[in-house]
Amino acid sequence: MHNEAQLRSDTCDRLDQKVLRLRASVEAGHRRIIDLRQGAAQARAVKREQDMQMRLNRHGNNSAVNEAEELIARVLGRDDPFEQAQILTDINRDLSGADLTDRMADAGFGQATRVTADSVLADLKTNL
């Protein structure tokens, strides 16, 4: 009986060791499955990102940017119509000769027909 009890005890010890090894193996397999699932989720995310990048490049995302830049360049490159009108008004005024007498007087030829800042300063200096 003592031998039989010893044999049963040895068998139980061996079975306990097998159970521990089996549990360790199952846990390692379980960890491996979790790692594989996480890796698969990561791979799917990377694949989706790559697919989106390919679609963006295929649809010519740069063409929209280029078109916008060209539009901005066209708008900013145009002449200002108000500035053009001012320049034409100045040219027409200079060509009309209406202020020729004043310009000649300012240059020292003839009597001034209007009061200028210089004449006011000169009057102030002589009166003081």
pTM attached to this predicted model: 0.39
pLDDT confidence of residue 127 = 82
pLDDT confidence of residue 23 = 94
The count of structural domains within the chain is 2
Whether 89 and 57 share a structural domain: no
Domain boundary among 39, 58, 78: 78
Whether 11 and 73 share a structural domain: yes
Whether 9 and 67 share a structural domain: yes
Whether 38 and 93 share a structural domain: no
Q: CA-CA distance, 63 to 116, in Å (whole number)?
A: 60
Q: Which residues of 37-73 are buried (b: 16+ CB within 10 A; e: fewer)?
A: eeeeeeeeeeeeeeeeeeeeeeeeeeeeeeeeeeeee
pLDDT confidence of residue 115 = 78
Q: CA-CA distance, 2 to 123, in Å (whole number)?
A: 142
pLDDT confidence of residue 1 = 84
- Tens of pLDDT, residue by residue, the chain (128 residues): 888 889 999 999 999 999 999 999 999 999 999 999 999 999 999 999 998 888 877 765 567 778 888 888 888 888 888 888 888 888 888 787 777 777 787 777 877 777 778 778 888 888 87
Quote the domain boundaries for residue 50: 1-78
Whether 63 and 91 share a structural domain: no
